């Protein structure tokens, strides 16, 4: 069997591992348009902040490909699928054949269409090459100030890295809060305050209308919708990421926002699978189809795809939105439906602004469907387990946010399922 994987991120590498679990003889070829593959994109912020060495960004280690007998080819971009011939055409006109194909092309930055966006000093921030270019610009220009357009996860992590480098940073966000897709207002306000204490300015419910240039032809500032001018030496555009689906769409594979897949991760074309940030499907709660572009989902999707490509039946249970990140020195966890609209939801929360502690649970029909934890991570894993296993909490609901809440309150069958080793906190 000849397996071809387009993309060398978490989904592609997980698929290769899964294939090898089932098929020890087949040929696995993995192609990546980037010169360096199998690196952890979330770590580019730490690299920019000089918190880690460049070698530490490699996710799978130097021996991953040799250990799994993967033929990795970097610097090759897939430009067309020839489905009748079961071949992929790459940027140099070369054709690579396959019996089973995985599309794991990830996402790409959403473009910002305003005057000045093409100026030197305007960057996106989703790849290692972006971090390298940004670091080089800061050094060569001796940049002292930056504007980050977008207050989502990418924008905030970029902001942190620039603050670590000593730059003055302003964030511009169209929504009424930072991390609007993940946090409610109280949680967002804690993160916002922490960033402000580090010297970051935050402009909410506003947007950039023009990137201004000086006499040198480089970035001089950003004009906002309210006509306020923010002087700066560089701009990072972080208004979101969209699934990279051009390859599939041009091959008439069914797509909407992302590449549509079933529970086996197979697309509308037999023998062609998709996984990671490029695909969409029903989410964990049965809503959708949706794209939930986070690392754990991509890994699980890649594993399911790899198993099915190699002939072992596996099923993806649906994507669950989940983030655990520290921003501005504030530790946060968010899982599931954190700020739902509509009726039928019960909210339980604790908010201590003085200590910057916030805990929130969202329940529906006596089951936890969402949670936010800020600065108090105790037992976050237990709550996540309750969500994933859809455990009814009616018998112990009044204890959920108590200081002593732990496994002792849970049904015995679930308690045994959750305890996996010594040292489990109860």
**pLDDT tens sequence across 352-367:** 988 899 999 999 999 9
**If you ran DSSP here, which 8-state letter would residue 376 be given?**
-
Determine which of 99-113, 125-139, 406-420 has the lowest per-residue pLDDT on average: 406-420
How much is the pLDDT for 420?
47
DSSP 382-394: HHHHHHHTT-B-G
Q: Is 239's pLDDT higher than 60?
A: yes
* pLDDT at residue 421, rounded to an integer: 40
Longest C-alpha distance within the chain, in Å?
A: 71
pLDDT at 423: 33
Give the residue from 63, 70, 74, 57 showing the smallest Cα distance to 17. 70
The answer to whether the 122-239 and 329-418 domains have the same CATH topology is no
H or E element, residue 300: helix 295-309
According to the model, what pLDDT value does residue 417 have? Answer: 58
H/E stretch holding 328 reads none
pLDDT at 337: 93
Residues 6+ apart with CB under 8 A from 105: 6, 7, 78, 244, 245, 247, 276, 278
* Least confident stretch, 10-14, 257-261, 376-380, 394-398: 376-380
Give the mean model confidence (pLDDT) for residues 340-360. 92
pLDDT confidence of residue 415: 66
Count CB atoms within 10 A of the CB of residue 10: 29
Q: Is the pLDDT of residue 425 over 50?
A: no
Q: Say if residues 235 and 137 touch (Cβ distance below 8 Å).
A: no
Percentage of the chain lying above the pLDDT 90 cut: 79
How far is residue 40's CA from residue 57's CA, in Å, rounded to a whole number? 6
In this prediction, what percent of the chain has a pLDDT beyond 70?
Answer: 96
Which residue is associated with the tokens 């100030």? 145
Output the six-digit token pair for 194.
Answer: 């922490």
User: In terms of Cα–Cα distance, which of 223, 243, 245, 241 is closest to 232?
Assistant: 223
Q: Where is pLDDT greater, at 282 or 238?
A: 238
The answer to whether 335 and 46 are in contact (CB under 8 A) is: no
Provide the CATH number for the domain formed by 122-239 in this structure: 3.50.50.60
* Residue 286 pLDDT grade (very low, low, confident, very high; cuts 50, 70, 90): confident
- Res. 282 pLDDT band, cuts 50 70 90: confident
- The confidence band for 424, taking pLDDT boundaries of 50, 70 and 90, is very low
Could you report how far apart the first and last alpha carbons of the chain are, in Å? 48
Return the CATH number of the domain spanning residue range 2-40+58-107+243-309. Answer: 3.50.50.60
Whether residue 147 contacts residue 230, with contact meaning beta carbons closer than 8 Å, is answered with yes
Q: What are phi and psi of 381, to 5 degrees?
A: -65, -35
CATH architecture of 329-418: 2-Layer Sandwich (3.30)
pTM of the model: 0.91
Question: Which DSSP helix (H) or strand (E) runs through 259?
Answer: strand 259-260
Residue 380 pLDDT grade (very low, low, confident, very high; cuts 50, 70, 90): confident
Domain ranges within the chain, ordered by starting residue: 2-40+58-107+243-309, 122-239, 329-418
Residue 111 has pLDDT above 70, yes or no: yes
Q: Which of 44, 34, 40 is nearest to 125 (CA)?
A: 44
């Amino acid at each position: 069997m000849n397996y071809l994987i387009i993309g060398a991120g978490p989904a592609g590498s997980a698929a290769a591992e899964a294939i090898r679990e089932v098929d020890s003889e087949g040929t696995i070829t993995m192609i990546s348009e980037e010169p360096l593959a199998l690196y952890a994109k979330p770590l580019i912020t730490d690299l920019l902040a000089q918190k880690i060495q460049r070698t530490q960004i490699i996710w799978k280690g130097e021996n991953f490909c040799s250990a799994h007998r993967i033929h990795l080819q970097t610097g090759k971009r897939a430009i067309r699928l020839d489905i009748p011939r079961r071949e992929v055409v790459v940027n140099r006109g070369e054709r690579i054949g396959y019996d089973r194909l995985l599309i794991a092309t990830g996402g790409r930055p959403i473009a910002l269409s305003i005057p000045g966006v093409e100026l030197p000093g305007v960057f996106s921030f989703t790849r290692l090459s972006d971090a390298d270019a940004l670091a080089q610009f800061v050094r060569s220009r001796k940049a002292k100030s930056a504007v980050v357009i977008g207050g989502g996860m990418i924008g905030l992590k970029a902001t942190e890295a620039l603050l670590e480098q000593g730059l003055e940073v302003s964030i511009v966000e169209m929504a009424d809060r930072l991390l609007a897709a993940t946090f409610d207002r109280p949680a967002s306000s804690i993160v916002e305050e922490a960033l402000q204490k580090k010297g970051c300015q935050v402009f909410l419910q506003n947007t950039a209308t023009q990137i201004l240039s000086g006499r040198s032809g480089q970035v001089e500032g950003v004009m906002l919708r309210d006509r306020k001018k923010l002087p700066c030496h560089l701009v990072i555009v972080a208004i979101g990421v969209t699934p990279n689906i051009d390859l599939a769409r041009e091959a008439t594979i069914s797509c909407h926002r992302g590449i549509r897949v079933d529970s086996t991760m197979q697309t509308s074309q037999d023998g062609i699978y998709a996984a990671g940030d490029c695909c969409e499907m029903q989410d964990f709660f049965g809503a959708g189809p949706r794209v939930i572009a986070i690392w754990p989902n991509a890994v699980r999707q890649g594993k399911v795809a790899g198993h099915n490509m190699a002939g072992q039946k596996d099923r993806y249970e649906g994507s669950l939105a989940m983030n655990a990140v520290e921003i501005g020195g504030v530790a946060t966890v968010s899982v599931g439906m954190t700020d739902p609209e509509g009726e039928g939801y019960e909210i339980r929360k604790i908010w201590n602004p003085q200590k910057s502690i916030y805990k929130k649970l969202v329940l529906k029909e006596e089951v936890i469907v969402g949670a936010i934890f800020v600065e108090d991570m105790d037992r976050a894993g237990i709550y996540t387990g309750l969500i994933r296993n859809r455990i009814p909490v009616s018998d112990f609901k009044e204890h959920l946010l108590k200081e002593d809440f732990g496994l002792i309150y849970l049904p015995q069958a679930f308690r045994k399922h959750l305890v996996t080793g010594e040292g489990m906190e109860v």
